[in-house]
């Protein structure tokens, strides 16, 4: 209740895209273009062992022979992969430093973005900020990771991927690419060759991670892409909740964010993964600029009774192409997908999930809320499949679309495959237009048009917002309101 | 309080209000009765600023202030309230959230301080008790899955919490059984006062036994065809609208 009001209050004071600023900082770049040398350059910058470079080069060879996929309901001109930079890093210390070593300009950037990097302040409650650990990734490198010591005491490893490759090679070698194989798809393969930074999390058996973990991705440099790689492993009986946030400056050019996220849940483990994606969406009138968000996210519920829950709030990006999925391998494992995807202006989104039921008695649940406004296009694409051994598999899917205005579109493309006779799949879908009658009713009670739309939309997405960690739910609610500014009238 | 002069309004090509003139002084309760299609609901929508109605002539003022140039929410902030004939369902938004958001939006528009959550909840509890509503119902999404009678009670509850100056009840009695009618009417009567006025739109005299009007008007073919005291409602109950419909 307070949150709804909060939204209504705060929205008036916010600009359309408030994270669109650029940080002036000296950066170093890889030479433009993409070839074996680029891959070697990145690997050397990160002081990687030989096996990692070999892994990258193999991915590069495979990618060179692949073609960009064209099955999604999105359109964009061909990307010139030679006209981009694959590594950009602040010219200070590479790799995670202690807070004292981080460039003050960077600290100011995160302050401006509202990301708490100062542990003392968080601990002392000075900023009133929630207590969660942050890995801050700026372009291609992680600049700092907070609360590492406290987490280490609980046995939890939380660090940048670059550091994990150097410090925990046995874990990385065991799990990297085990959920999303190198050549899984075009963008995942590209990522495997040139991935820069992302987070690595390992929670040992029986440990409940003592705080929320989060990674904050920031694209800053022009002409570069971001190739995040994140790997989270919850060992037997472990629990972890993780959140990623993303923003970028406003630029006229399109920038590529091709990430790969792999989650592994062993026996009785649980991972909650939440995303609040607010990349720059491009100019709402001309469609110029904005991030191409081509992301592969997949979880492997490897152990019996393991559980993975994806929650995503997708508001930014010019194009979103993303299907966080669960492979339900372990017996009675559970996969969940809760999604809010908002498109406005000229944005295009093709997003959904795959629930692959392999094990007996596996269950999954999909709640998707798509909102389209302006001249945007919003597609839900999902697959629910049960393999012959997945007897007793159950899925419930609910897929709701809300249209605001008359120039947007919503599409729902569900695929259902049942290869045994003992599974139960339910699918419900609705498409509605924001009703003039509801709007008038709310306005008669005193709400302005903008406030009325926000309230109705917040009601529409409520089921999903409730799945987010408390602090982020409030944040996400504000974001929903901002994303729809100017969508009526 | 409310002054309507020669009001003409149309929807598309169809003229529905054809020169309606009406004065409702502060503190009074006026009833508008009339046959189906006379323009009763149109009058309530034109007054509250629903989009889709074109005002072609005439004026509408609340305490000397022009209403017609204002947006629906601006009129609400001036103290205009419409209890809907068919209240809307608002999925996912708890009734308490909806009402408090609306109340504070109105207060903000009037330059008043927001009402704190504890104060609001205290008032909401009291109002719900007066209307014999289960308070838990206010935590549910507004009107979703409510019965017709429950929705009408919820309208009166909103009216009580928003405390408007000028209230329009559009067929509030429809869908109410006798007990509910009494409770709702008591709720409405509690809001009467020297600074407030009420316009009751109804088909039937029954409601006026509970909410006693000062004046009764017959609306036929977009105009006030007759006005009188409470006895006019009784006469209409006996004789029907025939002679007004014919005259028009």
Residue A180 has pLDDT above 50, yes or no: yes
pLDDT at A60: 94
Question: How far off is chain B from A212, nearest CA to CA, in Å?
Answer: 27
pLDDT digits (tens, 9 = 90+) for B72-127: 999 999 999 999 999 999 999 999 999 999 999 999 999 999 999 999 999 999 99
Do A446 and B76 make contact, defined as CB atoms within 8 angstroms? yes
**Distance (Å) of CA A311 to CA A113, A273, A464:** 22, 6, 8
Q: Hey, which residues 144-163 in chain B have their CB within 8 Å of chain A? A: 158, 162
> Is A444 close to B82, i.e. CB distance below 8 A?
yes
- For the cut 90, the answer to whether the pLDDT of residue A186 exceeds it is yes
The C-alpha atoms of residue A476 and residue A278 are separated, in whole angstroms, by: 10
Nearest CA in chain B to A7: B101
Q: Which residues does B41 contact at the CB level (< 8 Å), separation at least 6? A: B85, B170, B201
Contacts (Cβ under 8 Å, ≥6 apart) of A386? A357, A393, A417, A418, A419, A420, A423, A425
Give the pLDDT confidence of A258-271 residue by residue, as tens digits. 899 999 999 999 99
ipTM: 0.96
Render the burial of B148-170: b for 16+ CB within 10 Å, e for the rest.
ebbbbbbbbbbbbbbebbbbbbb
Of A307, A394, A384, the residue nearest A352 (C-alpha): A384
The verdict on B117 touching A (C-beta cutoff 8 Å) is: yes
Which residues of chain A does B96 touch, with a Cβ-Cβ cutoff of 8 Å?
1
Cross-strand pairs, A426: A396
Q: What average pLDDT does the segment A309-323 reach?
A: 89
Q: How far is CA B106 from CA A409, A478, B138, B159, in A?
A: 34, 21, 20, 13
Distance (Å) from the alpha carbon of A399 to chain B's nearest alpha carbon: 15
Structure confidence by residue, pLDDT tens digits, A412-449: 999 999 999 999 999 999 888 888 899 999 999 999 99
**Percentage above 70 pLDDT, chain A:** 88
User: Residue A49 is encoded by which pair of tokens?
Assistant: 């062992």
For the segment B202-216, the average pLDDT, to the nearest whole number, is 92
Chain A CB contacts of B77 below 8 Å: 446
Confidence of residue A254 (pLDDT cuts 50, 70, 90): confident
What are the DSSP calls for A346-397, one per residue? T-EEEEEEEEEE-STT-EEEEEEEEEE-TT-EEEEEEEEEE-TT-TT-EEEE
Give B92→chain A minimum CA distance, Å. 4
Q: Give the distance between the most distant pair of CA atoms in chain B.
A: 56
- pLDDT per residue over A18-65, tens digit each? 777 777 777 778 788 889 999 999 999 889 999 999 999 999 999 999
How many CB atoms within 10 Å of residue A67? 6
Structure tokens at A481: 């309101």
Residues of chain A found within 8 Å of residue B106, distances taken between Cβ atoms: 445-446
Chain B residues with CB inside 8 Å of A8's CB? 101, 105
Check if A455 contacts B (Cβ < 8 Å). Answer: yes
Does residue A296 have a pLDDT over 50?
A: yes
CA–CA distance, A297 with A299 (Å, rounded to integer):
7
For all residues of chain A together, what is the average pLDDT?
84
pLDDT of residue A97: 56
Instruction: Calculate how close chain B gets to A449, using CA atoms only, in Å.
Output: 8
Is A6 an 8 Å CB contact of chain B? no
Structure confidence at residue A5 as a pLDDT band (50, 70, 90): very low
Task: Note whether B101 contacts A451, CB cutoff 8 Å.
Answer: yes
Q: How many CB atoms lie within 10 A of CB A422?
A: 12
Proportion of chain B above pLDDT 90, given as a percent: 85
Mean pLDDT of B202-225: 92
pLDDT of residue A100: 67
Please say if the pLDDT value at position A226 is more than 70.
Answer: yes
Using the Cβ of B99 and the Cβ atoms of chain A, whether some distance falls under 8 Å is answered with: yes
pLDDT in tens, B13-52: 999 999 999 999 999 999 999 888 889 999 999 999 999 9
CB pair distance less than 8 Å for B92 and A436: no
**How far is it, in rounded angstroms, from Cα A158 to Cα B99?**
44
């Amino acid at each position: 209740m307070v949150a709804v009001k909060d939204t209504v209050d705060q929205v008036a004071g916010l600009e359309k895209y408030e994270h669109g600023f650029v940080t002036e900082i000296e950066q170093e770049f890889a030479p433009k273009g993409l070839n074996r040398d680029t891959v070697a350059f990145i690997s050397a910058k990160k002081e990687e062992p030989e096996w990692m470079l070999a892994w990258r080069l193999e991915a590069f060879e495979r990618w060179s022979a692949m073609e960009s996929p064209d099955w999604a309901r999105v359109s964009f001109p061909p990307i010139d992969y030679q006209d981009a930079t694959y590594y950009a890093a602040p010219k200070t210390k590479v790799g995670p430093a202690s807070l004292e070593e981080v460039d003050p300009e960077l600290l100011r950037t995160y302050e401006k973005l509202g990301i708490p990097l100062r542990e003392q302040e968080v601990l002392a409650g000075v900023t009133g900020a929630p207590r969660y650990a942050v890995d801050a990734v700026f372009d291609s490198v992680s600049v700092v990771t907070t609360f590492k010591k406290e987490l280490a005491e609980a046995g939890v490893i939380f660090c940048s991927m670059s550091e994990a490759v150097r410090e925990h090679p046995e874990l990385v070698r065991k799990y990297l690419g085990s959920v999303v194989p190198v050549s899984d798809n075009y963008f995942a393969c590209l990522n495997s060759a040139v991935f820069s930074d992302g987070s690595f999390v390992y929670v040992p058996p029986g440990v409940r991670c003592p705080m929320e973990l989060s990674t904050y991705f920031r694209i800053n440099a022009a002409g570069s892409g971001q190739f995040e790689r994140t790997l989270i492993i919850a060992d037997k009986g472990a629990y972890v909740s993780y959140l990623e946030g993303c923003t970028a400056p406003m630029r006229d050019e399109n920038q590529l964010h091709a990430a790969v996220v792999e989650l592994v849940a062993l026996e009785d483990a649980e991972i909650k993964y939440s995303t609040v994606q607010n990349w720059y969406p491009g100019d709402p009138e001309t469609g110029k600029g904005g991030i191409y968000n081509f992301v592969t996210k997949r979880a492997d519920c490897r152990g019996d009774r393991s559980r993975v829950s994806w929650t995503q709030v997708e508001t930014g990006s010019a194009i979103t192409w993303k299907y966080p999925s669960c492979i339900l391998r372990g017996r009675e494992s559970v996969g969940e997908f809760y999604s809010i995807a908002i498109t406005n202006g000229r944005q295009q989104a093709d997003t959904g999930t795959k629930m692959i039921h392999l094990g007996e008695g596996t269950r999954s649940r999909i709640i998707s809320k798509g909102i389209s406004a302006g001249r945007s296009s919003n597609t839900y694409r999902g697959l629910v499949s049960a393999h012959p051994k997945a007897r007793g598999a159950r899925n419930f899917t609910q897929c709701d679309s809300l249209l605001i205005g008359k120039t947007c579109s919503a599409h729902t493309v569900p695929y259902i495959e049942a290869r045994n006779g003992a599974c139960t799949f339910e699918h419900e879908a609705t498409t509605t237009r924001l009703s003039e009658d509801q709007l008038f009713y709310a306005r008669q009670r005193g709400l302005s048009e903008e406030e009325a739309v926000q309230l109705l939309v917040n009601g529409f997405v409520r089921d999903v917002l409730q799945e987010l960690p408390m602090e982020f739910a409030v944040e996400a609610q504000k974001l929903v309101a901002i994303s729809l500014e100017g969508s009526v009238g | 309080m409310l002054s309507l002069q020669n009001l003409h309004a149309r929807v598309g090509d169809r003229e529905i209000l054809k020169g309606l003139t009406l004065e409702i002084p502060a503190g009074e309760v006026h009833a508008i009765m009339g046959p189906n299609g006379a323009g009763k609901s149109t009058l309530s929508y034109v007054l509250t600023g629903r989009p889709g109605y074109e005002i072609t002539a005439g004026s509408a003022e609340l305490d000397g202030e022009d209403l017609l140039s204002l947006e629906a929410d601006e009129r609400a902030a001036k103290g205009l309230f419409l209890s809907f004939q068919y209240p809307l369902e608002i999925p996912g938004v708890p009734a308490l959230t909806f009402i408090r958001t609306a109340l504070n939006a109105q207060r903000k528009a009037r330059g008043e301080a927001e009402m704190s959550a504890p104060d609001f909840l205290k008032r909401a509890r009291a109002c719900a008790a007066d209307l014999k509503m289960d308070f838990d119902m206010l935590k549910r999404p507004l009107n979703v899955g409510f019965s017709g009678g429950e929705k009408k009670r919820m309208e009166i509850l909103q009216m009580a919490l928003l405390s408007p100056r000028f209230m329009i009840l559009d067929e509030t009695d429809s869908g109410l059984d006798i007990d509910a009618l009494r409770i709702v009417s008591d709720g409405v009567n509690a809001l009467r006062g020297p600074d407030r006025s009420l316009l009751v739109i109804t088909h039937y005299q029954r409601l006026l036994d509970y909410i006693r009007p000062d004046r009764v008007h017959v609306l036929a073919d977009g105009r006030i065809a007759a006005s009188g005291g409470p006895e006019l409602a009784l006469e209409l109950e006996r004789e029907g609208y025939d002679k007004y419909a014919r005259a028009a």
